[in-house]
Chains A and B, each alone.
Chain A
Amino acid sequence: MKQDLNQSQKEQLSALADGQLAAGDIGAALAFADSDEGRQTWQLYQLVGDVLRSPELAHHAQHDVLSGVRAQLAREPRPQLQPMALQAITAAQGVDRAANGSVFRWKVAAGVASVAAVAALGWSSMLGSGSAPAGIELVQNGAPQQSVPTEIVAMQSGPGAPVMLRDPRLDELLAAHRQYSSVAALQMPANFLRNAGFSDTSVRH
């Protein structure tokens, strides 16, 4: 049983050496690599790979550099283990990388764009939620609203024609601001635009 576990852990290290270990298994592989056996296994795999590629590297490490590095790093301010960051790495490694994934400035741009999008959505939802700013609230309190009776007029241009409901107040508003009446989806005056329709071209108004 223990032998199987040991073999499985070594196989994970082997896959990690090839960059082919699933992101979710890296933590377990690193835990094994932190043991003497795991460290020696990693060292042997690297040595074997190097020797296969270049006999020049067929020598074991001459010095115990790792202990020195460890001792020095123990005195270094080190980043705290960040579960969120690890999750992000895991998630990023679990999916295919984008072609520009390794370019940091794209990540920065994506981050800025995300923040801007969230801010814009938050701002618009805040405006739309009806919670008016304090100043407007004061004005509204000072001038009590009068309920204006809404008069909806049903207009029918002829027998059989569809009935159109018209609000006189809306008509007045449009008449007073006729210059903006052709505001299109562009959200700007566009008087140069004409509506297109399928009416007979011989009929001119």
Chain B
Amino acid sequence: MKPSVTPPSASDSDLQLVERTNAGDQRAFELLVIKYQRRIERLIARMVRDTDQVQDIAQETFIRAYRALHQFRGEAQFYTWLYRIAVNTAKKALLDMKRNPVVTDSALRNQSDEDETSAPGQELTTDETPETVLAAQEIAQAVNAAMQALPEELRQAVTLREIEGLSYEEIAAAMECPIGTVRSRIFRAREAISARVKPLLENQTGKRW
């Protein structure tokens, strides 16, 4: 099966967080910010030249999303909705600066939100430096190495969840085990992989994780 960037049931989590935010719990929105910040930054970095603008536009994107969150009906993926806000915010910022939008080839090729993050383009975005590219490669290698080191049942569970996008029920049926076991296996797999990634992030960011 072809892996998708956004797991099919990710919207359940997003919708839960959106509803919670609309009910007045701002902590739920902060989880959405953390979840999508990297994708939004990457998207914006493909559109603007000014590195300093990326953070401001990303921030403005999330503020606009928060203000309009009550209009989100869950009929589309949350990221699709957020993607449009980010693009519009970036365009407006560029117009405000009286500049023409600089859209890279890869961004032009990937107008769809699903494909946006899996662009094969190798060119550096605004925010990317050789150091950040190297850091990203290290993280990817650490994740892959951690996956290979996982016990078979943990690797299978997290693969079915994260890459194939199956629900816990479907994974339980596929692996012939209770749903509680699926939940536990996925959690343990995430913890094991995170343990390998943490030291890298500490080195890269200079703060304790």
Contact = CB atoms under 8 A, between A and B. Distances in A.
Interface of A: 10-11, 14-21, 23, 26, 30-31, 33-34, 39-66, 68-70, 72-73, 76, 78-82, 85-86, 89, 93, 102-104
A16 B184 CA distance: 13
Contacts of A15: 183, 187
A16 B13 contact: yes
A40 B140 CA distance: 18
Given A65-B62, A79-B23, A59 B54 contact: no
Interface size range on B against A? 35 or more
B137 A58 contact: yes
* Secondary structure dominating the interface of B: helix
B84 interface: no
A18 B9 contact: yes
A63 B14 CA distance: 22
Given A57-B117, A63-B54, 14 more contacts: A45-B190, A46-B34, A47-B139, A51-B140, A52-B158, A58-B137, A59-B139, A65-B33, A65-B37, A65-B55, A78-B24, A79-B22, A80-B24, A89-B23
B147 A52 contact: yes
A66 B30 contact: yes
Contacts of B119: 56
Interface of B: 3-7, 9-16, 19-20, 22-31, 33-35, 37-39, 41-42, 54-55, 58-59, 62-63, 66-67, 73-75, 117-119, 127, 132, 135-137, 139-140, 143, 147, 158-159, 161-163, 167-168, 183-184, 186-187, 190-191, 193-194, 197-198, 201, 204-205, 209
Which residue, A33, A45, A85, has most C-beta atoms of chain B within 10 A?
A: A45
* Secondary structure dominating the interface of A: helix
